[in-house]
Amino acid sequence: MKSILVVDDDPQMRSALKEAIRRIGYGADACENGKEAIGRISRTGYSLVVTDMKMPGMDGLSLLREIRRRCATQPVVVITGHATVENAVETMREGATDYLLKPFSFDALKKAVLSVMARAADERDFLTADPGMRKILALARNIAASDITVLAQGESGTGKELLARYIHRMGRRAGKPFVAVNCAAIPENLMESELFGHEKGAFTGAAERKKGKIELADGGTILLDEIGEMPLPLQAKLLRVLQEREVDRVGGKEPVPVDVRVVATTNRDLQKECREGRFREDLYYRLNVFPIKLPPLRERPADIPLLAAHFAEKFSAAEEKAIRGFTAEGMALLANRSWRGNIRELENVIRRAVLLCPGDAIGVDALMFDEPVEAAGYNGKIRDMEKDLILRTLKEVDGNKTRAAELLGVTVRTIRNKLNEYGN
């Protein structure tokens, strides 16, 4: 955790704030004006900036605007006096994370600091520098405290499940269960029992009573991932759960009341599915109370270098390699791809690149893609390196294509196609 920067032209106030922040449990630096603060933030980076409003030269509001211009995500708490309460409203409009009115107590400062730090910790799980995604996260925070049903829509790999978990963590149900159900992964003949549970003897093999996923989420949040894959007969039963807030177990005689917050996700056009008779219209409107659409990675160019750096750091640590980043050519190649598999595809590419990278910076030769490279001049070397990686991986797993595909983050079909290309 990085330190907190205090900005105040009053030496006594600077000293008092530094000492208070240290008592709260964080390191603190201090400077006396906005210009010095900008220089420090640029060089060092801080988890939080706490700044006074009235300062000579660059005042707190000007400092806030400059920080926002340079870094949209930097948390800033502004301190303002009773005489300038109206400025507090303006600071929030300009992007302040919070504000404190003078005179404030140690407890008030502690509450503000801990709140900002906790929120920052939550948002680190959802890395983004894209203004549109930042608005979506702000929207998610605003609705998290309610129990409104959310339908998150977007292409595969855009972070729909991550958004659902974020909404859960930021809401009043955060300490309760979060249960995720992948409707596309459960066989149709098992889905009813998995979702709604069953009584002992309800069917052959039902040796004891079993609670379903919805019942297990009681008090918390149920994520219905890829809801568009749910069979029509079960859609009717789910509709009853949403309407009556109770579950009918398979073979049960009495409904079981449940208190759950529902978040559903889909990569399908559910309105089209309704028109074509594959999805119940009444269920669609029950789910689509608060729709959120996540943009694909190709529409979030600022996130590509941010996420690539994050994955490189993550996998470099896991593989005990000292990779410090990317070459300019390597990053340019990443930035110019369409990323049809979105964040999941980018993660797989960086994972492979970390394994292939011979030095401390990931370059073009270490980037292995599922599809042909979308830039001229790179195919030859990449083809040789990906062939070597695939053949070495297959050797390590005794020729098991499924296991090799899992390790490399590609499909079995990709492995087979590559082997055909190589004549193996």
Count of domains observed in the chain: 3
Specify the CATH number for the domain of residue 280: 3.40.50.300
Cis peptide before 103 (omega within 30 of 0): yes
pLDDT above 70 covers a percentage of the chain that reads 90
pLDDT above 50 for 378 = no
pLDDT higher than 60, residue 182: yes
Please report the pLDDT score of residue 84 as a whole number: 58
Cβ atoms of residues 331 and 337 within 8 Å: no
Domain assignment of residue 279, given as a range: 131-293
Which CATH number does the domain housing residue 317 bear?
A: 1.10.8.60
For residue 123, what pLDDT band results from cuts at 50, 70 and 90? low
Final residue of a structural domain among 86, 121, 156: 121
Grouping H, G, I as helix, E, B as strand and the rest as coil, residue 114 is helix
CATH label of the domain that carries residue 114: 3.40.50.2300
**Do residues 139 and 52 both lie within one domain?**
no
Residue ranges of the alpha helices (H) in 319-370? 328-335, 342-356
Contacts with 255 (C-beta within 8 Å, 6 or more apart), sequence order: 244, 246, 247, 248
Q: How confident is the model at residue 256 (pLDDT cuts 50, 70, 90)?
A: very high
Given a cut of 80, whether residue 83 has pLDDT beyond it is: no
What does the alpha-carbon distance between residue 424 and residue 416 come to, in Å, rounded to a whole number?
9
Q: Rounded CA gap, 341 and 155, in Å? A: 8
Greatest Cα-to-Cα distance within the chain, rounded to the nearest angstrom: 79
* 172: pLDDT strictly greater than 70: yes
Same domain? 158 vs 267: yes
Q: Evaluate whether residue 15 is within a structural domain.
A: yes
Indicate the range of 64-73, 151-160, 254-263, 361-370 predicted with least confidence.
64-73
Distance between CA atoms of residues 44 and 10, nearest Å: 23
- Residues shown for the chain: 424
Same domain, 411 and 306: yes
- Helix (H, G, I), strand (E, B), or coil: what is residue 414? helix
Give me the residue label for tokens 């499924």.
402
105 and 253 housed in the same domain: no
Lowest pLDDT segment from 207-216, 342-351, 402-411: 402-411
**CB of 227 closer than 8 Å to CB of 287:** yes
Tell me if 141 is assigned to some domain. yes
Please give the average per-residue pLDDT across 317-345, as a whole number: 87
Q: Residues 19, 44: contact at Cβ < 8 Å?
A: no
Residue 343 has pLDDT above 90, yes or no: yes
The whole-angstrom separation of Cα 176 and Cα 167 is 13
Q: Residue 375: what pLDDT?
A: 46
- pLDDT at 120 exceeding the cut of 80: no
Residue 247: the pLDDT is: 92
Q: Indicate whether 126 belongs to any domain.
A: no
The most confident of the ranges 164-173, 380-389, 414-423 is 164-173
Q: How confident is the model at residue 85 (pLDDT cuts 50, 70, 90)?
A: low
Asked if the model's pLDDT at residue 243 lies above 90, the reply is yes
User: What is the per-residue pLDDT for 418?
Assistant: 83
* Same domain, residue pair 135 and 278: yes
The confidence score (pLDDT) of residue 374 equals 45
pLDDT for res 277: 95
Q: From 121, 140, 156, give the residue that closes a domain.
A: 121
Residues 6+ apart with CB under 8 A from 401: 394, 412, 415, 416
Which one of 208-217, 258-267, 392-401 scores highest in mean pLDDT?
A: 258-267
Whether residue 381 is predicted with pLDDT greater than 60 in this model: the reply is no
* pLDDT band of 385, cuts 50, 70, 90: low
pLDDT at 314: 84
Distance of CA 132 to the CA centre of its chain: 14
pTM: 0.62
Average pLDDT, the chain: 86
Q: Is residue 335 part of a domain?
A: yes
**Nearest-5° angle of CA 224, CA 227, CA 229?**
135
Label the pairing between strands 256-257 and 246-247: antiparallel
